């Protein structure tokens, strides 16, 4: 005959939310879909906040292999949103196993020039104009679209996104130099 033994109360307390006293939900399985979205004002500190949030989200979800590439690409897009627009921006991170998609939205509807065009194509030592070349070299897929005015009078804007696929080999240094 077995008798019931109540669990050690100290173990139960560690599983409870300190504010509500209710049990924490179980973590999502690795392949379960999720998304996070971060809105930030037109402020040069925004991309740094995005960088910290992105690293934290990827680390806690077990996607550490994406951190370096996702950080470079997300910071490039978020910095461009602050540098080339006047309004707020947002970053959305979405996991649909085995793909991480990061989208950066801002309020300027003008899409950037395609890689290899514009001033960067003619000035090899230019200090700007290489963002999409970096995107093209590091992302497994990327794209963007203009977004027209919304039904509530918002001005629209654009979204530039990239995807990183789990298990894809990282680009070689020779591919980045090209």
* pLDDT tens by residue, 112-150: 876 555 555 546 666 666 788 899 999 999 999 988 876
The model carries a pTM of 0.76
What pLDDT is stored for residue 148 in this prediction? 80
Q: In terms of pLDDT, which residue wins out, 173 or 61?
A: 61
Q: Is the per-residue pLDDT at 42 higher than 90?
A: yes
How far are the Cα atoms of 63, 138, 159, 177 from residue 174, in angstroms, in the given order? 25, 12, 29, 5
Residue where the block lists tokens 């130099």: 177
List CB contacts of 16: < 8 A, sequence separation 6 or more: 22, 23, 24
Average pLDDT over residues 2-7: 51
Residue with tokens 């591919």: 175
CA distance 35 to 33: 7
Is pLDDT at 12 greater than 50 in this prediction?
no
């Amino acid at each position: 005959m077995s008798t019931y033994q109540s669990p050690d109360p100290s173990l139960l307390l560690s599983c409870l939310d300190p504010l509500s006293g209710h049990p924490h939900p179980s973590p999502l399985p690795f392949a379960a879909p999720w998304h996070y979205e971060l809105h930030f004002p037109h402020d040069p500190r925004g991309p740094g906040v995005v960088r910290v949030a992105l690293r934290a989200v990827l680390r806690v979800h077990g996607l550490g292999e994406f951190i370096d590439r996702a950080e470079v690409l997300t910071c490039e897009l978020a910095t461009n949103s602050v540098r080339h627009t006047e309004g707020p921006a947002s970053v959305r991170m979405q996991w649909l196993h085995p793909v991480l998609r990061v989208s950066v939205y801002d309020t300027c509807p003008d899409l950037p020039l395609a890689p290899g065009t514009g001033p960067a194509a003619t000035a090899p030592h230019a200090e700007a104009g290489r963002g999409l070349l970096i995107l093209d070299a590091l992302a497994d897929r990327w794209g963007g679209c203009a977004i027209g005015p919304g039904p509530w009078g918002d001005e629209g804007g654009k979204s530039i996104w990239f995807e990183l696929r789990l298990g894809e080999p990282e680009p070689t240094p020779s591919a980045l130099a090209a």
